[in-house]
Amino acid sequence: MSRQTKIKRITAADIAARKGGEPIVALTAYDAPTAEILDQHCDVLLVGDSLGMVVHGLPSTVGVTLEMMILHGQAVMRGAQKAMVVIDMPFGSYEESPEQAFANASRIMKETGAQAIKIESGAYAAETVSFLVQRGIPVMGHIGLRPQAVNVAGGFRAKGRSTQECADVLEEAEATAKAGAFAIVVEGVAEDLANQITAAVSVPTIGIGASSSCDGQILVTQDMLGLFDWTPKFVKRYGDLKSVIDKAAGDYAAEVRSRSFPAEGQVYSLKPKLVGDTA
């Protein structure tokens, strides 16, 4: 009997080595079937806390819990075999102290089997990143527009529109890289600033609403597939899944109401009784 070849999963070290090389392809994933489809195309699958908005219908990511992230992370790990799976740490699960962050990050990795976690790394977070990395937890940083800080920022607002803001975001990026993050998501910043950050840090940058010069790109999969009427400016729609689902559901509803579904091909019939069958 031939032994099935085991697929080698991409690691944090593999992603870190892509700095300045082949662009990193990343998308979000929240369930096993989608993860299985995306796995062959992506280097990184992010179980983002964006699931609060795009899956659970919350107004922001602030209401996402650790249990939600673990549940979706487990599902994605069942579907993906090759891509590195990174799981967001939700709001309130890492800000209090490095010790709190380690307790929750280690729980995520133990219960899901994921390869890394991601935190929104403001100026306060460098100590936490270093604490986690030193204890064996690969960390992806996230700077620029930070969705978990939406209540402080007053909305989802792009960063880098002023000289001071540019300096602050660049400082966040440099501190995150120096602390040991293996990659940094750069979200919603001016293109020139994204280019400056990519040149300044020694780890890969993964842009979302940033610049094509970043070391990789990520989008929310549901946005990219066209599941919503509105998407951010930086999203390019590669599909129109909302229309496809709408048409399929409409066709199904019409056939149910006309009693044309189920038809002969979708129902079971009794097997003919065989001669001598006493059952």
pLDDT of 223 > 60? The answer is: yes
- Say if residue 49 carries a ligand binding annotation: yes
Cα separation, 185 vs 40, whole angstroms: 21
- Residue 10 DSSP code: P
> What pLDDT does 164 receive?
86
- Does residue 140 contact residue 116 with C-beta atoms inside 8 Å? yes
Q: What is the pLDDT of residues 44-84, one digit of tens each?
A: 999 999 999 999 999 999 999 999 999 999 999 999 999 99
pLDDT-based confidence at residue 274 (cuts at 50, 70, 90):
low
Q: Active-site residue among 111, 127, 165, 187?
A: 187
- Say if residue 246 carries a ligand binding annotation: no
pLDDT-based confidence at residue 2 (cuts at 50, 70, 90):
very low
What is the rounded average pLDDT of the residues 103-129? 94
To which H or E segment does residue 163 belong?
helix 163-179
pLDDT-based confidence at residue 6 (cuts at 50, 70, 90):
confident
Cα separation, 179 vs 212, whole angstroms: 25
pLDDT-based confidence at residue 189 (cuts at 50, 70, 90):
very high
pLDDT-based confidence at residue 270 (cuts at 50, 70, 90):
confident
- Which has the closest alpha carbon to 148: 257, 38, 65, 263? 65
> What pLDDT does 126 receive?
94
**DSSP secondary structure string, 12-55?**
HHHHHTTTTSSPEEEEE--SHHHHHHHHTT-SEEEE-TTHHHHT
- Say if residue 120 carries a ligand binding annotation: yes
Q: Which two three-digit tokens encode residue 136? A: 């064996």
Please say whether the structural domain 12-239 has been given the CATH code 3.20.20.60. yes
- Say if residue 2 carries a ligand binding annotation: no
pLDDT of 1 > 50? The answer is: no
Q: Using the CB atoms, write b or e for 225-255: b if 16+ within 10 Å.
A: bbbeeebeeebeeeeebeeeeeeeeeeeeee
- Which has the closest alpha carbon to 57: 195, 172, 228, 209? 228
- Does residue 24 contact residue 15 with C-beta atoms inside 8 Å? yes
20: left (phi over 0), alpha (psi -120 to 50) or beta: left
To which H or E segment does residue 215 belong?
none
Percent share of the chain, pLDDT over 90: 82
Cα separation, 236 vs 258, whole angstroms: 39
> Is 187 tagged catalytic?
yes
pLDDT of 37 > 90? The answer is: yes
